Structure 1
Amino acid sequence: MSRERVSIVEVGARDGLQNESTTLSVKGRVELIRRLMDCGLTRIEAGAFVSPKWVPQMADSDQVLQALPSTEAVSFPVLTPNLKGLEAAIAAGAKEVAVFGAASETFSQKNINCSIAESLDRFAVVCEQAKAAHVRVRGYVSCLVGCPYEGVIQPEQVVPVVRRLFELGCYEVSLGDTIGVGTPASIERVLTALLKEFPASWLAMHCHDTYGMAIANLRKGLDLGLRTIDSSIGGAGGCPYAQGASGNVATEDVAYFLRGEGLDCGVDLERLVETGQWLFSQLNKPVPSRVNRALSGKLS
């Protein structure tokens, strides 16, 4: 009997690396993505077309994208915050891009230097041009339940932003607990509000593990019907605009959790552990993932 499938979107090579103090070379980032593919991952963020002045870790994302294999089996989405980024991404061969908004006005200003309304206007142009180029667009909404500047974020602040992203043509919206303050109760409140308007299949969870709540919050999302989870190999990354926020939930932790719940994510957990160890050896720091640390000794 086949197990129910959960899709993992691997964000380590973009969202993870962009907040690490060590910058990987183009060769290193390509090697990371190839290793992630070997783990069985089929949705792997490959980079961000942003100014290297602000995010030097994502410099030369065009070279990374061009060095990856051309395959229908794996998608390599890239972040494109504006039309200039989109044009560069398309020129590099991107088939999927992402736009990144927020449910907090202050966070939007700190993150992308404009209001929520202004950001959505920018995204409208990006989505229109992407559609014309037959490029898929994924949406992100940060500060799902909490903001480092404004505190608690209410569901009524989130719903209009998600609604607008779908109106613009995003095929999926990833919901980010950017600073990891969510609990199952707060996650349930916002997801319940969203599910009144949108199918669970249109939504993804993007949890940070600052307070150790990521897996519990993902369980709540699964209980409510969501089947797409963003995660980062080894637990790499964090949020450069949220002081003290730890990294995304680790892909190893998610894969172990899903396997224990009888759900299939199509990845090789042992290879994930090896890849997490490899990445953090390049970053010269210990692997944050608890599952990685627990299993790595058994594999050595």
Structure 2
Amino acid sequence: MRKIVEHSQLRQMLSYRICYKDKSEQQQIKNQLKDEVMSAYGDKWIRLAEGTRSAIDEAMFMATEKGFSFMSKDYLTRHGISKRTLDRAFNFLADKGLIYIVYRRKGCLNLTGKPIYLFTSHSYFKHWVNFLSLDVALDVTANVAAENSQTSILASDSEDIPVSTSFELPNNNLKELSNKDRSEKADVDTDNINDDLDYLPSYIDRTFGTIYKAHFGLDIKRINQLWTILQQQAYKVNIEPENVPQAGIWSLKQLIGQMKIKKIKNLYAYYTQIVKDKCHEIFNQELEDMGADLSQSISFSLPYD
């Protein structure tokens, strides 16, 4: 449920003292907020449209004083972006736990007006939680920091996971698959499949395991191997965790379809390439959803020693 801030409450918030003593402290607060935002976006930050980055940057700068920004969408669109793009950007930050959104009352009506963005890592956030009686856990920032740290660890650890290049799928099952029509697979006993899949590690998507077993039988080691390949590529491309199962399921179906029509010599390399291409496709879609301008090329220059 959306929290409405009364006009009198907003006036009190605006009259509260500024948290920093000089411009140097203000810049430190700004850098802290920006580092957290850039960490949440990861590699996608540099690919965002310049207007989107500028709008977020301006909101962060205003929040350095008292921990919140109340600039309207009409004002922020002067950076050359739409209100829809602004909504996507700030909703993304809210989902990551970096901001908490409340709304001004619209006139005298019981309707929400313009948003107010409370930055959760600001020193005044706890004060606004108490002042506005918000139903928010005060350790939300610590939880987000821990989640980002865990994601970074997984991303780095995934580079060192050994993957056997002698990956093969059962040939006998493949012959059966090529000789039967897909419609005959509808008779598979899904109850038994689901019972057997209880042995799968919890981090593997059950739909992924179900598809594998329906065509090749239950082989937890090989399913885990396929899922490990998927995780490696997903972390390298840096797609959102909720989109990883989608990439794996689509790639496994493509592999099965290709195995029905032709002989694949190196299944490991073939599957890896399918997953890699799908992850890049999802990554680009995520950028578009965030308002990134994919038509611009990005160049980097390194300073000379």
**Alignment TM-score, normalising by the size of structure 2:** 0.28
Q: Which has the larger radius of gyration?
A: 2
**Alignment TM-score, normalising by the size of structure 1:** 0.28
The structure that is strand-richer by fraction is: 1
